[in-house]
A = this chain, B = another copy of it.
Amino acid sequence: MSDSDAPRVCPNPYRVTIADGDSTTDLQILEGTLGPAAVDIQQLYGQHNLLAYDPGFRSTASCKSAITFIDGDAGILLYRGYPIEELAEHSNFMEVAHLLMFGELPTLNGYKPFWTEITRHTLLHEQVLNFYRGFRRDAHPMAIMVGVVGALSAFYHDDIDLQDRDSRIHAALRLLAKIPTIAAASHTYSVGRPIRYPCNDLDYAGNFLQMIFGVPSETYKVDPVLSKAMDLIFVLHADHEQNASTSTVRLAASSGANPIACIAAGIASLWGPAHGGANEAVIRMLTEIGKAENIPKAIARAKDKNDSFRLMGFGHRVYKNFDPRARVIQKWPRMF
Contacts and interface: CB of A to CB of B under 8 A. Distances in A.
Interface of A: 7, 13-21, 29-30, 32, 35-46, 48-64, 119, 122-123, 125-131, 133-140, 142-144, 146-155, 157, 189, 192-194, 197-201, 215-219, 244-245, 247-248, 251-258, 261-262, 264-277
Q: Give the oligomeric copy count.
A: 6
Given A216-B197, A251-B248, A252-B269, A55 B51 contact: no
A253 B252 CA distance: 13
Given A56-B62, A201-B219, 4 more contacts: A123-B215, A149-B150, A252-B268, A264-B268
B273 A14 contact: no
A37 B193 CA distance: 51
A88 to B, nearest CB: 26
A244 B254 CA distance: 7
A265 B254 CA distance: 13
5 contacts: A46-B58, A131-B134, A150-B268, A251-B251, A255-B271
A271 B257 contact: yes
Contacts of A36: 45, 49-51
Name the residue in A14, A21, A150, A198 with the highest tally of chain B Cβ atoms < 10 Å from its Cβ. A150
B138 A151 contact: no
Contact of A19 (B15, B35, B275): B15
A7 B153 contact: no
A40 B52 CA distance: 6
Contacts of A128: 134
Contact of A62 (B43, B54, B152, B258): B54
Contacts of A18: 14-17
Contacts of A155: 136, 139, 192
A107 to B, nearest CB: 25
A126 B248 CA distance: 31
A128 to B, nearest CB: 6
Contacts of A266: 252, 265
A19 B19 CA distance: 13
A52 B50 CA distance: 14
B127 A135 contact: yes
A112 to B, nearest CB: 16
Contact of A14 (B13, B48, B62, B277): B48
A191 to B, nearest CB: 8
B274 A258 contact: no
Most B CB within 10 A of own CB, among A13, A125, A129, A144: A125
Contacts of A45: 36, 58-59
Contacts of A262: 268-269
Contacts of A130: 130, 133-134
